[in-house]
Amino acid sequence: MHPLENHVKNKSLIPTDSPVVIALSGGVDSMVLFHVLLKLKHQLIVAHVNHQKRSESSDEMAAIKALCETHNIPCETLVLDPIDDGNFQHIAREKRRAFFLSVAKKYNSRTVAMAHHLNDQAETLLMRFIKGYRLESLSAMRERATDDGVDVVRPFLDVEKDRLITYAHSRDLLYFDDASNDEDDYTRNRIRNTLMPILRKENPNILKTLQKYTQRFQALEELLAERTEAYISRHHGTYDIKAFLRETDLVRHDVIKTLIEPHKPNPSTAIIDALIDVLKSDDPNITYPLNDTHHVVKAYDAFSIARIESSSAICVRIDKEGTYDLGRHGTYRVTHEKTDHNHTNCMAICYNDKVFPLYFRTRRNGDRIRLASGTKKLKSVFIDRKVPQADRDAALLLANREEVLWIPLLKMSATFPKETHKTLYVYEV
C-alpha cells in the first residue's frame, strides 16, 4: 500500500460501513483523494460544483461524470449561475456547503470528505491573521468538524501539496489545472503566489511552523470553550454581570458570541465589543436588539437574551364591583366586602365620596403615587426597587384619574387619608 493511502487509512476519519460524499472539484488535490478512497474500497458519492467561471468548466464536469460512470459511482452536480457580486468567494463557499450537505442527506451519508491539505491550512491561518480575525478563530480548519449533523473530514490536512502532486504523477491520474489560481484577484491567491514564497525563503519549514501554531490555537479554542461553557451553565439563562466581568477578555468575547449566535449568526467583533461595553456601563437598564425577535436585556446586575414583546399597554375602566379578567396581567376582584382569602396580593382603597371610575392600566409618563412622605414619581419608585426596564413597562397599575393607587408587582399601595368612611377592596385572584 502506498504511504499516502496508508496515511489516510490510519487516520480513521472515514467510516467503512456507510457511503462517503467526496467533494470532487477536478483539481489535483480532490482527484488524488478520490483515487485513494477508491483504493481503500470506500463506497463513494461524488459531488461536483461547476462555478461557470472558466470556459473549461463544462468540459471538466463532463469528464468527471464520465469518470464516475467508469467506476459506477453516483455523481451529483451543481451548476452555479454567474456570481457578479464582489463577495464571490463567500457566496460560492456557502452554496457549495449547502450542496454537499444536501447530497449527504440524499444518500444517507454521515460523512463529507474534502481534499484540503497543509498548504491550504497555512494559507487559511495567514488570511485570518491578516484580516484581523479574533484569536479564538485562528484555529483554522480541523480534520473533523460537524456541520448540521454531518461529519466534514479532511484527511490530507497535514499533507503538503507536493506529496499529492507526486502521487498523481506516479499514478498518471487525470486532473485539471485551474489557471485562475495563478491570478491575484483574491486574498488567498495573493498569499499563495506572493507571500508564501517569501516566507519559504525566510523559513524553509514554514508550513510545519504554521501547522504547530494552528494546533496550539485549536488547543486554546478547546480550553476557551470549556471556560465559556462553565460560565454559561452556572447561570442558567440569567447571567451575573459581575461574574462575567471577572472573566478574561477572551472568555467574555466567547460567552457573548456563544449566547447571541443563535439570534445573530457570525456576529462581528464590533457587535461583541459593543455588547461588552453595554454590560460595563453604569446605566442599569439597557436593551440591545439582536434581530427582529430578540434582544439583550441588561437589568441592574444581570443580563439575559429575551424575546422582544409587542407593545402591551392596556387601560381597562372599572365602573363597578365585579371580577375582571385582564389576560396575561391576571384576574382581579373588586368588592366592598372584606373577605377571608388566600390571595397573596390585595389592597384596600379608603375614601369618603366617590371611588369609581378606577383604571387597571400600564404606566404613563408622569405617573405618581401618594406615600406617607408625599407623592413620588413612579419612575423613582421603580429605580429604588431595582425593577428591570422591561418589567416596568409591563407592570399592571391600579389608578384613578389623578394618580396611581396600587402597584401589584411591588405589593405597594398609596397612602390614604386617615378620616375615611368607606373602603373598597381589590383582590388578585
Spell out the domain ranges in the chain. 3-212, 236-307, 315-428
**Cα separation of 293 and 3, whole Å?**
54
**Cα separation of 59 and 67, whole Å?**
12
Give 152's strand partners: 112, 145
pLDDT in tens, 341-386: 666 789 999 999 899 999 999 999 999 999 999 999 999 999 999 9
Give one word for 20, left, alpha or beta, with left for phi > 0 and alpha for psi -120 to 50: beta
pLDDT in tens, 159-218: 999 999 999 999 999 999 877 776 777 788 899 999 999 999 999 999 999 999 999 999
Give one word for 140, left, alpha or beta, with left for phi > 0 and alpha for psi -120 to 50: left
pLDDT at 289: 86
Domain spanning 3-212: CATH 3.40.50.620: yes
pLDDT beyond 70 at 144? yes
Cα Rg of the chain (Å, integer): 33
Q: What is the pTM of this model?
A: 0.68
pLDDT in tens, 277-334: 999 998 888 888 898 889 999 999 999 999 887 656 788 889 999 999 888 888 999 9
Average pLDDT over residues 223-251: 94
Q: Are 36 and 4 in contact (CB under 8 A)?
A: yes
Half-sphere exposure of 311 (CA within 13 A, CB side): 5
DSSP 8-class letter at 411: T
**Cα separation of 253 and 273, whole Å?**
8
Task: Report domain 236-307's class.
Answer: alpha beta
| pLDDT interval class at 141 (50, 70, 90) | very high
CA distances 267 to 131, 139, 189, 260, 290, Å, are 15, 18, 26, 8, 10
Half-sphere exposure of 322 (CA within 13 A, CB side): 11
pLDDT beyond 90 at 82? no
Q: Are 151 and 105 in contact (CB under 8 A)?
A: no
Rounded to 10 degrees, the C-alpha dihedral 214/218/219/222 comes to 170
DSSP H or E run through 22? strand 20-23
Nearest partner of 335 among 270, 425, 252, judged by Cα:
425
CA distances 240 to 226, 234, 262, 280, Å, are 18, 9, 20, 12
238-263 in b/e form (b: 16+ CB < 10 A) is: ebebeebeebeebbbbbbbbebbeeb
**Cα separation of 140 and 118, whole Å?**
11
Amino acid at 410: L
Residue 192 or residue 269, greater confidence: 192
Residue 366's contacts (CB-CB under 8 Å, 6 or more residues apart) are 377
Q: Are 115 and 23 in contact (CB under 8 A)?
A: yes
Q: Is the peptide bond before 357 cis (omega within 30 degrees of 0)?
A: yes
Residue 142's contacts (CB-CB under 8 Å, 6 or more residues apart) are 154, 157, 218
